[in-house]
Amino acid sequence: MLEAFDKNLLADYSGTCDLITNMKLDDVHIVVKGDYRCIQGSDTAIYLYAKIPPDSSLLFLLSVGNPNFIIDVRGDLTDEEAEISNNGGVIHTALFQSNLISVGDVLLSLETFEVKYPVSKNSSYSKMIIPITNFEFKGLQTFLRPDGTTVNTLALEVAGIKFEIFPKHDFSVSLPESLITRPCKVTSYIEVDLTQSYLPYDELLKVVDNVCVLLSFARGTWITWPFYQLLDQNGKVVKIHHRKTFTSNFGIRPLKVMEYSEKLKNFIETSYEKFVHLETEYGISQTIKILAEAKSMSSMGEINALTVTTAVDILRARWADKNGMSFIFEKSFFSKITKLLQHQLSEILMEFFNISQTLINEILPKLSDFNRYSFRTVLVEIINKTKADLNEAEIRAFIESRNKLVHQGRFKSSTPQDRFRELLSLFKFADNLILGLLGYKKP
């Protein structure tokens, strides 16, 4: 199934379904039957396109002018009995009609889509396949496929779970396409032996989420999973679950933190537990997500640079909040001082400088900022505590660039070449700061 996707789609299914509407007849929801095609695009958005037969109750629904009338989906796949469900609810319904008396076409936007195939009583789940996007790698182990071809794989063990990453069968073709066209695309898949893992599926998928975030940081492009498959002991797919999630373009620039598989494996396995702690304390995955997005943007200008500084600023603010460095004095205490300062400063400005009350009102609210630690103070504290590989010159250069970008919307540098180098230095600073937080030292 992984090999059958269209080049620009992550998934594509056809079948028959029941569309549950919000209209009721005798206190029972009206059900519209029809054929559907489920598509998951490169942005992981899930759409259900359904053709409604002319003898259905669609005409009644059209007549009452209720375009967003479908509230749930259920039904069977073509040629095989299978339960399908939409656990996330219908986000949006668009109604198309070629002819009111012939056929209506409905396009639904979904949060999730799940297919469960019938299984025998003796069947059990033996394997989970989780396709991942935008991951380029060179594996360490050699795997012999059933067709006689060999492929390199990357085996990892984190949180007591062993799993292996395989490239897609057409990896050598899809990778160059991704580098050129840059859409989010499935390039690899994670395989988990469920007979060796006793975690509930939601916890197992959380581990995979965490690994994907670390891979994203290491490779400089956002890596995620759009769906997963459960296989029985005979290798037959018995469940497919799709989700809508954040994606980004395939990163193509030389901004990778980890270049080789040996280093990548070591980084993931040694940094995982620390990452889980940082995610709980500071939500560090959001910083990594923003940083990966900045690296994958098609432009290489001020927007990218501001995005990098935003990622660092979010991390700085959360760290300050958790470590008692948001305010110098307790807020209620300083608010009393602020009122006194505002009164005295207002009198001084009016008496000695003849400044208008309008301008004074622009100044006075800023006095409360005196109670905050400076951006530099908090940043230096993080670097010192984590022993991040950043020196005084790099700290000063980052802050100067950040201040210029935030307050003037431009780089310090004047030439295109120097601006590009300045941007790369911002990326390097953010990378080294995160490596310091993770406690990872490059070999």
What pLDDT does 118 receive? 73
What fold is seen in the domain 2-116?
A: Pnp Oxidase; Chain A (2.30.110)
* Radius of gyration for the chain, computed over Cα atoms and rounded to the nearest angstrom: 27
Using one digit for the tens of pLDDT, what is the confidence trace for 225-281?
999 999 998 888 888 889 888 888 776 555 677 666 778 889 999 999 999 999 999
Tokens representing residue 136 in the block: 């380029």
Using one digit for the tens of pLDDT, what is the confidence trace for 111-154?
888 887 777 666 778 899 999 988 877 666 666 666 666 778 88
Q: Is the distance from CB of 400 to CB of 422 less than 8 angstroms?
A: no
Q: Is the distance from CB of 104 to CB of 58 less than 8 angstroms?
A: yes
CA-based nearest residue to 397, from 438, 427, 442, 440:
427
Amino acid at 303: I
Question: Residue written as tokens 């030389």?
Answer: 254
What pLDDT does 39 receive? 85
- Determine the Cα–Cα distance for residues 321 and 327; give it in Å rounded to an integer: 9
What pLDDT does 443 receive? 67
**Angle in degrees, CA 141, 144, 150, rounded to 5:** 75
- Determine the Cα–Cα distance for residues 86 and 93; give it in Å rounded to an integer: 14
Amino acid at 17: C
C-alpha dihedral, 77 to 82 to 86 to 90, nearest 10°: 30
Other Cβ atoms less than 10 A from the Cβ of 23: the count is: 17
What pLDDT does 207 receive? 95
- Intervals of CATH 2.30.110 along the chain: 2-116
- Determine the Cα–Cα distance for residues 134 and 194; give it in Å rounded to an integer: 25
What pLDDT does 176 receive? 67
Helix axes 302-322, 416-438, angle to 10 degrees: 30
Name the maximum alpha-carbon separation found in the chain.
90
| Residue segments in the chain with a per-residue pLDDT below the cut of 70 | 1-8, 23, 30, 53-71, 75-104, 120-122, 138-149, 170-181, 251-255, 258-260, 298, 300, 443
- Determine the Cα–Cα distance for residues 308 and 261; give it in Å rounded to an integer: 26
Tokens representing residue 60 in the block: 């009644």
What pLDDT does 4 receive? 39
Amino acid at 228: Y
- Determine the Cα–Cα distance for residues 188 and 225; give it in Å rounded to an integer: 10
What pLDDT does 384 receive? 95
Q: Is the distance from CB of 426 to CB of 309 less than 8 angstroms?
A: yes
Q: Is the distance from CB of 105 to CB of 51 less than 8 angstroms?
A: yes
Q: What is the pTM of this model?
A: 0.83
Other Cβ atoms less than 10 A from the Cβ of 400: the count is: 12
Amino acid at 40: Q
Amino acid at 319: W
What pLDDT does 251 receive? 66
CA-based nearest residue to 396, from 416, 382, 427, 375:
375
Tokens representing residue 234 in the block: 């005979």
